[in-house]
C-alpha cells in the first residue's frame, strides 16, 4: 500500500502524475501546508525538512522493520520508477541522462521557478488570481531586483530545455521519463506568469510549448494534474 502525504502543489503533482502513469493504487493523506501542518511533530518524523510530499510504502521497511518514508520528489520518482520498472530506462546512457535531467529539475528549475513565483506574484494587485498558497506566502511587496533576477534565470533555464526539445520529443532521451514528469507541473504553473513578460513565449519557446501540449494530452498526466490541482479537495483520500 502506497500513501502520499501531500497538499495540492506543483511539487506534489510530479508524484501524482507518476502514480497515475504507472497505474499504482495509492491513498492521499492531506498535509495542509496553508495551516502549517508540515511543522507538526508527527510529520517531521516523516520528513525532517518539513516539506510535502512524502511517500510511504508498506513494502519498504528499514532495518528496524518500520516503514522508511521517502521525502524529496526526485527520490520518490526514482523509487517509483524502480518499483514499477517504468520511465527510467535500463540502458546506461538513457538511464543516466534521465537521472541528470531529474537532478537538473530539482536543483535548478524548481528552486528558480519557486523564487520567481514568490517575488513576481507580489505584482498581482488582485490576490484572487493567485493560488491560495502563493497568495498566503508571496513577497509582501514587489522587489524589482529579485523579480528581474529570477525571471531572467527562469527564461535562461527554459532556453536550456528549448535547445533539447527542439531536437527531440522528450527531455532526457527519445522516450518519456521521470525527468518529464518532474519538469511538467512546474513549467505548466509558471507559463502564464512568464507570458506576461514575454507575450511571444509560445513561439519563442516552440519546442517547450509543443512538449507541454504532448504532456497535457496523456491520460496519466491529466489525472495526476487534476487530483492535486490548486484547491483540490483532498479529504476523500484518493
Ligand atoms: N525539494 C523538495 C521541495 C518540496 C517543497 O518545497 N514543497 C513545498 C510545497 S510545493 C512545501 O512543502 N512548502 C511548505 C513550506 O515551505 O513550509 C522536493 O522536491 O520534494
Instruction: Note the pLDDT tens digit of each residue in 132-176.
Output: 999 999 999 999 999 999 999 999 999 999 999 999 999 999 999
Verify whether ligand 1 is closer than 6 Å to residue 172 (CB atom).
no
* Of 110, 111, 96, 87, nearest in space to 18 by CA: 87
d(CA 69, CA 176): 27
**Residue owning grid cell 531572467:** 152
Verify whether ligand 1 is closer than 6 Å to residue 52 (CB atom).
yes
Cell triple for residue 97? 541522462
Question: Region 47-70: what's the mean pLDDT?
Answer: 98
Question: Region 56-61: what's the mean pLDDT?
Answer: 98
Q: What is the DSSP string of 73-119?
A: HHHHHHHHHHHHT-SS-SSHHHHHHHHHHHHHIIIIIHHHHHHHHHH
Question: Region 105-120: what's the mean pLDDT?
Answer: 98
Q: Among 6, 10, 11, 71, which is best to mutate for testing ligand 1, by the most ligand atoms less than 8 A from CB?
A: 11
Any idea how long the chain is? 238
Chain CA centroid to CA 122, Å: 22
At 49 the pLDDT is 98
Question: Region 190-196: what's the mean pLDDT?
Answer: 95
- 194 confidence band (pLDDT: 50, 70, 90): very high
Of all protein residues, the one whose alpha carbon is nearest to atom 14 of ligand 1 is 51
d(CA 33, CA 137): 11
What pTM was computed for the model?
Answer: 0.97
Verify whether ligand 1 is closer than 6 Å to residue 73 (CB atom).
yes
Contacts of 134 (CB under 8 A, 6+ apart): 117, 118, 121
Which domains does the chain carry?
Answer: 2-87 (3.40.30.10), 92-218 (1.20.1050.10)
User: What residues pair up with 71 in beta bridges, in sequence order?
Assistant: 54
Verify whether ligand 1 is closer than 6 Å to residue 72 (CB atom).
yes
φ, ψ at 3 (rounded to 5°): -125, 130
CA of 71 to the centre of ligand 1 (A): 10
CA of 11 to the centre of ligand 1 (A): 7
Q: Among 13, 38, 51, which is best to mutate for testing ligand 1, by the most ligand atoms less than 8 A from CB?
A: 51
- 236 confidence band (pLDDT: 50, 70, 90): confident
CA of 111 to the centre of ligand 1 (A): 10
Amino acid at each position: 500500500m502506497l500513501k502520499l502525504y501531500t497538499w495540492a502543489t506543483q511539487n506534489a503533482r510530479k508524484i501524482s502524475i507518476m502514480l497515475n502513469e504507472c497505474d499504482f493504487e495509492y491513498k492521499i493523506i492531506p498535509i495542509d501546508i496553508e495551516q502549517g501542518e508540515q511543522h507538526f511533530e508527527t510529520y517531521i518524523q516523516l520528513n525532517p525538512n518539513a516539506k510535502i510530499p512524502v511517500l510511504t510504502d508498506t513494502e519498504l521497511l528499514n532495518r528496524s522493520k518500520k516503514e522508511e518514508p521517502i521525502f524529496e520528489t526526485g527520490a520518490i520518482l526514482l523509487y517509483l520508477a524502480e518499483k514499477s520498472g517504468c520511465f527510467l530506462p535500463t540502458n546506461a546512457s538513457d538511464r543516466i541522462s534521465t537521472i541528470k535531467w531529474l537532478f537538473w529539475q530539482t536543483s535548478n528549475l524548481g528552486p528558480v521557478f519557486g523564487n520567481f513565483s514568490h517575488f513576481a506574484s507580489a505584482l498581482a494587485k488582485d490576490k484572487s488570481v493567485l493560488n491560495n498558497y502563493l497568495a498566503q506566502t508571496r513577497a509582501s511587496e514587489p522587489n524589482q531586483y529579485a523579480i528581474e533576477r529570477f525571471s531572467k534565470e527562469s527564461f535562461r533555464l527554459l532556453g536550456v530545455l528549448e535547445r533539447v526539445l527542439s531536437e527531440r520529443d522528450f527531455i532526457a532521451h527519445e522516450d518519456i521519463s521521470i525527468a518529464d514528469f518532474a519538469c511538467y507541473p512546474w513549467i505548466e504553473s509558471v507559463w502564464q506568469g512568464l507570458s506576461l513578460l514575454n507575450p511571444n513565449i509560445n513561439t519563442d519557446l516552440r519546442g517547450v510549448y509543443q512538449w507541454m501540449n504532448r504532456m497535457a494530452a496523456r491520460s496519466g498526466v491529466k489525472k495526476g494534474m487534476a487530483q492535486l490541482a490548486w484547491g483540490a479537495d483532498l479529504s476523500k483520500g484518493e
